[in-house]
Structures are given as structure tokens and as C-alpha cells.
Amino acid sequence: MTIERSAWPFGDDQARPRVDGARLKLTVAKKYLESALRKAISPGGVTGVVMALLFIVVTDAFLMLTKYIQELPPVSLTFLIPVVVAAMRWGTLSATVTAIGGAGTVSLFYYNPFYITGPDSRSRVLGIIAFFTVSLVLGYLASKTRSDTARALRRENEIRDLYTFSQRISAANSPAGIFEAMQQHLETLVGRKVLLFDSLGTLEAKSDRLGDVEIPAAVTEAVSTMAAAGADGPKNIVVDDHRGSAWLVRPVSTNTADFGIIAVDLGRPSEVFDELRARVIALIGDAGLSLERLGLARTISEARTREETEQFREALIGSVSHELRTPLSSILGASTVLSLAPEITGNSRLKKLAALIHQESERLNVEIQNILDASRISSNGLQTKLEWAEPADFINAALQRCRNRLTNRVVDVTLPEELVLLRIDSVLMERALGQILDNAAKYSPSESPISVRGHIESGQFVISVADKGAGLDPEDRTLLGQKFFRGSRQAQVTSGLGLGFWIASAFIAANNGSIDATSEGANKGMTVTVRLPLPMRENHEGYDGQGSVALADEAEPSRV
Amino acid sequence: MTDGDQHVLVVDDEAQIRQFVRAGMELGGYRVTEATNGSDALREITLHPIDLVILDLALPDIDGSELLERIRGWSGVPVIILSVRAGETEKVKLLELGADDYVVKPFFMSELLARAKVVLRRQSERKDGESALRLDRLVIDFAARTVELDGKRLNLTPKEYRLLQVLAQHPGKVITHQNLLKSVWGQAHVNNTQYLRIFVRKLRQKIEVDPNRPKILLTELGVGYRLSDPASRDQTRLD
């Protein structure tokens, strides 16, 4: 602790470091004793002392044994091993006891304390003191390392919890999700059943450990009292739930009401109850601070806004779909009645006009449907109902839907002879393929052929739709998957919103498939390829992938 | 176009829809009565001999599917549902509740007329109690349990025959996957859609010219299957 004179950079003022060094020594000693005393009364302390004594005996036995075999110079250093081990394992008290015991036995075995007056008695006493000091300091340092390690471990766990928590928060897209994550985080921290209410006293998240048990009325009451009182209200309420448990109710943070109110089940009141309560309050306080640091208040309010926007959007889409489609239904229906009426079918000019109304309202209907689909995709409202289905079924349905656009065209359809079963939502697939066929028809000359080919290729069912149309400029290809994209030349000659390919991609992705478009270049036609996963054979009960069937069919005698 | 003067009840709260449906149905040769809500519709069905009900699901006083259930409580009158809700689950539910068919808005009048024709024809056949069904090149004789294609007897396995029989009991009507599975394989297998896919394929290989482009045993995506009805072949669909 003393500092070499030459190393002291501040001139002649030599007194200071020494005084400081002495003070430091004193503080260390005081701290050391304090912590040793504290440890001694704890249950772990007794084990430590017992183990320390045991250690000394073992080390002594070892030294005596070696002395028997071979006379050795004093090896007091050997005692440092049990001191360090005791300090690392059981803490300061154990280390101290080992140090004292070690020093005692060293003096007994090697220096004979009854004859310390001798020619080198001075060096012997100094040796014992030196040993004792060294082992004390070493013990203190080792036990400090031990507690530092423990603290680091605890902090690491806390950080891990906090990290899991913040990941959960970023994944949550509604206030309810955030409260759910907060509840779980607080529950992990506190280690007891936890209920979390928002600042208005509405239950937001409930402990899983609580099961289906009702929330105690006393707790709900205390929460609403606290919510009503706001910032001026009581900070802690302890209530009895009349089921043998006491609950602590308090705001998660004392600085903001945004994090809501927490209710913690403290269990049966006992003598350590006050201590437990104080610990839980401290933990909640810490948790509240870390929630503030995470900027959670803003996250919650953003989530609220997002939820409101989402609701507004849903309402808008709902009303668009209703308000636009209702009159459209009448127009389309009425136009089809007109095309049936003899007065009109007999007059070629009127017949053409009726057909025009019919076609255009149908087109409008398709565009409205596309907008609705697009908004469903954007808002993640796409729900798939995956079922075993034959690709031929949705391919035929898509061709049927597009048949008005495909009149006067040769559509060459090639499908495998054998039965192919896919795990798909065939309604979504039909819509996706409909979009692809519609694009093929839209962007190719009205009488050019279109081919639709389905085949199995390396564990996938591949559908390719090829046209002989405008194709795609290489620079447009990367843009194809984008919403509202339309090829630069296509945009000038054909109408449409450019949602088709984007919708098809989303629908196909929802079926775990992929879509790709290739073109040799402008005016060389385009091939759109859809790949859908073929399910593993063992997942098909009774289907071996070759079209033959392992289902019992001939069990009853055939009368047919 | 129809035999006699068949009476159709159009139940919809929107005047525009009633207006063109009335015009279209009258062009098709039907007599039309309109109702704007559920209770009026119930009264009409009780008081008059109605042959067909065209029912919109969104009614001001009572939900359309509930009205359908009530009608089915005492009457077998054919019901075609009009709906803006195009979900497959919704369609399955309506069919199980006893709807004969459904048409999703917006729709073509020709489609509604075609469906009405099929439903009414099925109804009159049911009264006649025919023991054989002729579908184009296919003849199913229920009494003899035989199936002929172009005059040649087909060799069907019992399950294939049962599947065809269930569909042929209501030609033109969509039979849901669940109903088919229940009738052919039993209650325990209502979710084994793959059985159905496999047997439909086998049946199609026997009765269709090209099983990949079926003309007789038709798929209703996400809902079920139906046998084509000669009367509905020219129908147009938009949903």
C-alpha cells in the first residue's frame, strides 16, 4: 500500500500517500470484519467455518506425512491453498478461520511457539505475521472475486431477461402484447404470480400460474381505487384475497402511469412477510426504471396509434367494399338482365352497349377485388386454410374464371397423368393463377397462344404459364414483384393498377410456394413459374404418390 | 323456359337488387313476389305456395342464415342464397343448414337463372321419385346399383359407387367435403380430405374423358363436389 518515493509525482509531499495507505488498510480491514460477521450469522457461515477447520486438519495431515518421508524447509505457503479455496467457496469468514488456523499450525509445527526466543526468533515471528497478513489479504481478494463473479452472473441473467423482454416488446404489435410481455418479465423478476392492469384498471395480462382461477375481488377493487386516485393516490396497497394470500398492489413505475398497475401475490403472511414485500417493491422499482429506459411508454402509445390506424383502415376497406360493391352489384346484375331481354338481343347496336356495360362493370369488380386483396395482404389479414388438394382443380377453376379474357385463344394445358396431392389453400391458389393468366392475356396479342404446364420437378410441383406477348425489359424484371408495378411499355397500352403479380406472389407465398418470371427480352414472351412444395410421402395417409391407393375399398363384397 | 308458372320469392332489403332480379326472373318466365325483410318472407312462404326462395343474407330484422334455419324447420322449399360474403367456410355452413345453392354478389343474371332452373328441376324430380339418373353419357340406375357410360357398364368399387350415388341424389347441388366423407367413410373420417381426393380421381378416371378436365364430376373449390346438371351447363360464374 505504500508508494515508492520516486514514483510519487507530486514533489515533496510524502505524508499524504502514507496516511491514505493506512486509511485504506483500515477501511479494508473494517469492511472485511463487517462482512465476516455478517456471514457468520448466516446459515452458510457455519458450513464455511466447519469446512475451513476440516481443511486445516487435512492440510496438516498432508504436511506431517511429507515431513515424515522427507524433512522439508517450512512450507507455510501450502496453507494459502485452503485459504483461497475457502474464500472462493464459502466466503470471507471461512477464509479468515483458515488463515488463523493455518498461521497457528504453522507456528506450532515449524517454529515451536514456546521457544520463540532464540537466535532467529525475530525472523520467525515476522514470518508468522507475514504469513497471516498475506493469507488474510489473499482470502479477502479471493472472496471479493467470488462475490464479483456472482454479481456478474446475476447481472448477466438480468440482461438476458431484459433482452428476451425487449425482443418480445418489438414483436408485440398491440398494447395488449406489450403488457403481456411486461407481465411475463415482471413475473420472472419477482418470481411470484403477477397480474398487470393498464392505467385505467383494465386487466391486460394475467399470470399463467394463476390458471383459470378468478381474479380476487379485493385485488380488482384495490386496483380501481389506485387507478381512480391517479398520481395522488396511495403507492402501495396490501390486500387479503380471502384465500390465504396477501396481494401487493402498486404502480409499476412511480414516475408514469403508462406502465399500469401491478398486483403481486405475496403468498401467506409470515414473519418474513415485510422483508418479502420490501424486496418485491424494490424489484418492481428496478423493473419500472428499466421499462422507462427502454422507452416503453412511447412504444405503447405507438402501438395504440397503430391499432387505431388499423381499425380505421379496416373500417375504410369494409366501407369501400360495401359502398362500391353494392351499386356495382346492381349495375352488373341489371346489365346481364339487359343482355337477356329480347328487345335488346334483337337490336345489334343496343346489344353491343349492354355488353359494354357488362364488361366494364365486371372489370371494375375485378379491380375492387384486387384492392381488397391487396389491403388484406398488407394488413396481414391473409388466412390460409391448407388442405389436401389436386392442382388440376384450381388450375381448371382459374381457367374457367378467365375464360372471357381467353376467348379466341389456344390455351394449351398439360397436366400430369397421375394424381398429385398438394397441401394448399386451393381458393387462394386459384386466385393467384387467375392473376397470372389474366396478365398473360392482357400483355400478349389477343389471338396468341398461352400454355399452362404442370409437372413434378425435384420435390416440387411446378406450374408454368407462358405467353407470346410483350415480355419484360431486363431492367423491369427486378421491379416486377413490387406493388403497383407495371412494365414501362405495358403501362402505355393497357389499363390496370399493376397489383396482379404482387397479389399472386403474396397468395403463393402464403401457400409456401414461390413465383418467378423469366423473359427472353422485350416482345419475346414471358414465362411465369410457380413452385409449390410436394408434401413428403409419409404425410399422405393412404397415398403413395403414384396415384395408386392403399385404402381399404374392397372390404365389402362388390355388388356393382 | 319453365314448366307452368313457378312462383319465386325474392328476399332482399335493397330495392335495386330486387328490381333487376325481378326483371330477370320474369324474363325467365317466373312469377315473382318480393319481400324486404325476414318476417315478411316467412309470412309469404306460409301464406302462398312458393316454389323457390332467393334469399339475401343481410336482412334488416333477422340474419339470413337464421331465417334459412327457421324455414328448414317446416318447409323443404328450395332456397338459393345471395351473399356478399364469399368465404368458403360460410358457403359450407349455408349448405349444411339446408341451402340448395348460393350465389355470391355481384353475379350475372344468367347464372342465377341457371341455378334456379337446376334447383327447381331437382325439386320436381324428387317428387317423381325417379330410380335412374341420366347425365349426358352417364346413366346411374339406383335400383339396380349399376352405372353405364355410353351404354357400357362400368366396374366401380363399392366406395366409388357410394360416392357417385351420394352426389347423384342431388345432381347439380354442391355436396360438402364433410358430407361426402361422412356418407362414404363414416363420421370418424370427416377430416380425411385426401381419401376423397383419391377416390374422386379414381372415379373421374372411369367416368370422364380427361380426368384433368372433368365435365361430369365437378369441383367446387374449398367447398365440395357436384355432378354437372344438363340444365346448368351453360351457366356463368363470377365469384
Pseudo-torsion of CA A391, A392, A397, A402, nearest 10°? 100
Smallest CA–CA distance, residue B210 to chain A, in Å, is: 9
The cell numbers describing A13, all together, are 509531499
Q: Do A560 and B21 touch (CB under 8 A)?
A: no
Which pLDDT score, from 0 to 100, does residue A543 have?
A: 47
Does the pLDDT at position A301 exceed 90?
A: no
Which pLDDT score, from 0 to 100, does residue A208 have?
A: 65
Asked whether A340 and A325 are in contact (CB, 8 A), the reply is no
Tens digits of per-residue pLDDT, B11-32?
A: 999 999 999 999 999 999 999 9
Which pLDDT score, from 0 to 100, does residue A236 have?
A: 81
Asked whether B227 and B214 are in contact (CB, 8 A), the reply is no
Interface test with A, best of B103, B108, B203 (most A CBs within 10 A): B108
Kindly indicate the confidence band of residue A559, based on its pLDDT and cuts at 50, 70 and 90.
Answer: very low
Does the pLDDT at position A380 exceed 90?
A: no
This model of the complex carries an ipTM of 0.85
Residues across chain B? 239
> How many beta-carbon pairs under 8 angstroms link A with B?
135
Kindly indicate the confidence band of residue A102, based on its pLDDT and cuts at 50, 70 and 90.
Answer: confident
For B95-101, the CB contacts below 8 A with 24+ separation are B95/B174, B95/B175, B95/B176, B95/B179, B95/B223, B95/B224, B96/B176, B96/B178, B96/B179, B97/B65, B97/B68, B97/B69, B97/B72, B98/B68, B98/B69, B98/B71, B98/B72, B99/B68, B100/B173, B101/B173, B101/B174
Spell out which residues of chain A touch residue B211, defining contact as CB-CB under 8 Å.
Answer: 392
Which pLDDT score, from 0 to 100, does residue A2 have?
A: 40
Cα gap A271→B164, rounded to integer Å:
78
Which pLDDT score, from 0 to 100, does residue A53 have?
A: 81
Spell out which residues of chain B touch residue A453, defining contact as CB-CB under 8 Å.
Answer: none
Which pLDDT score, from 0 to 100, does residue A25 have?
A: 62
Which residues have CB under 8 Å from A380's CB, separation 6+? none
The cell numbers describing A95, all together, are 477464509
Instruction: Choose between A103 and A532: higher pLDDT.
Output: A532
SS3 at position A467 = strand
Tens digits of per-residue pLDDT, B191-239?
A: 888 889 999 999 999 999 899 999 999 999 989 999 987 655 444 343 3
Does the pLDDT at position B184 exceed 70?
A: yes
Which of A119-123, A166-170, A210-214, A523-527 is modeled with the greatest confidence? Answer: A523-527
Range with lowest mean pLDDT among A249-253, A281-285, A315-319, A538-542: A538-542
Q: Do B160 and A333 touch (CB under 8 A)?
A: no
Does the pLDDT at position A249 exceed 80?
A: yes
Tell me what percent of the residues of chain A surpass a pLDDT of 90: 16
Which pLDDT score, from 0 to 100, does residue B13 have?
A: 92
Nearest CA in chain B to A400: B237
Cα gap A281→A301, rounded to integer Å:
26
CA-wise closest residue to B88 among A505, A396, A385, A314:
A385
Report the DSSP pairing between strands B7-11 and B52-56. parallel
Spell out which residues of chain B touch residue A397, defining contact as CB-CB under 8 Å.
Answer: 219, 221
Which of A150-154, A461-465, B101-105 is modeled with the greatest confidence? Answer: A461-465
Residue at grid coordinates 355470391: B104
Q: Name the amino acid, one letter, at B20.
A: F
Instruction: Choose between B19 and B142: higher pLDDT.
Output: B19
Which pLDDT score, from 0 to 100, does residue A213 have?
A: 66
Which pLDDT score, from 0 to 100, does residue A306 have?
A: 79
A510's enclosing H/E stretch is helix A500-510
Q: Do B157 and A390 touch (CB under 8 A)?
A: no
B31 has which bridge partners?
A: B7
Buried b (16+ CB within 10 A) or exposed e, B41-64: bbebbeeeebbbbbbbbbbeeeeb
Give the HSE-up count for residue B71: Cα atoms under 13 Å, Cβ half-sphere: 34
Tens digits of per-residue pLDDT, B57-111?
A: 989 999 889 999 999 998 889 999 998 876 888 899 999 999 999 998 889 999 9
Tens digits of per-residue pLDDT, A61-98?
A: 877 777 777 666 656 677 778 888 888 777 777 778 88
CA–CA–CA angle A158, A159, A160 (5° rounding): 90
Kindly indicate the confidence band of residue A42, based on its pLDDT and cuts at 50, 70 and 90.
Answer: low
What is the average pLDDT across A175-195?
76
Cα gap A475→A481, rounded to integer Å:
13
Does the pLDDT at position A35 exceed 90?
A: no
Which residues have CB under 8 Å from A282's CB, separation 6+? none
Tens digits of per-residue pLDDT, B143-180?
A: 888 899 888 899 999 999 999 999 988 888 899 999 99
Q: Do A329 and B156 touch (CB under 8 A)?
A: no
Q: Do B24 and A427 touch (CB under 8 A)?
A: no
What is the average pLDDT across B38-43?
93
Does the pLDDT at position A424 exceed 50?
A: yes
Average pLDDT, chain A: 76
Which pLDDT score, from 0 to 100, does residue B142 have?
A: 85
Smallest CA–CA distance, residue B74 to chain A, in Å, is: 32
Cβ neighbours, 10 Å, residue A220: 18
Does the pLDDT at position A517 exceed 80?
A: yes
Asked whether B35 and B124 are in contact (CB, 8 A), the reply is no
A240 has which bridge partners?
A: A246
Asked whether A480 and A501 are in contact (CB, 8 A), the reply is yes
Does the pLDDT at position A489 exceed 60?
A: no
Which pLDDT score, from 0 to 100, does residue A497 have?
A: 55
SS3 at position A292 = helix
Instruction: Choose between A468 and A168: higher pLDDT.
Output: A468
Which pLDDT score, from 0 to 100, does residue A422 have?
A: 93
Smallest CA–CA distance, residue B80 to chain A, in Å, is: 16
Kindly indicate the confidence band of residue A38, based on its pLDDT and cuts at 50, 70 and 90.
Answer: low
Does the pLDDT at position A173 exceed 80?
A: no
Spell out which residues of chain B touch residue A549, defining contact as CB-CB under 8 Å.
Answer: 198-199, 202
What is the average pLDDT across A244-268?
81
Spell out which residues of chain A touch residue B222, defining contact as CB-CB under 8 Å.
Answer: 385, 387, 425-427
Cβ neighbours, 10 Å, residue A275: 10
The cell numbers describing A27, all together, are 477501511
Give the HSE-up count for residue A165: Cα atoms under 13 Å, Cβ half-sphere: 24
What is the average pLDDT across A392-420?
90
Which pLDDT score, from 0 to 100, does residue A557 have?
A: 38
Range with lowest mean pLDDT among A364-373, A506-515, B164-173: A364-373
Tell me what percent of the residues of chain A surpass a pLDDT of 70: 75
Does the pLDDT at position A554 exceed 50?
A: no
What is the average pLDDT across A465-483?
72
Q: Do A554 and B158 touch (CB under 8 A)?
A: yes
Does the pLDDT at position A274 exceed 80?
A: no
Tens digits of per-residue pLDDT, A383-404?
A: 888 889 999 999 999 998 888 8
Which of A78-87, A104-113, A514-523, B148-157 is modeled with the greatest confidence? Answer: B148-157
Asked whether B173 and B226 are in contact (CB, 8 A), the reply is yes
Cα gap A420→A416, rounded to integer Å:
8
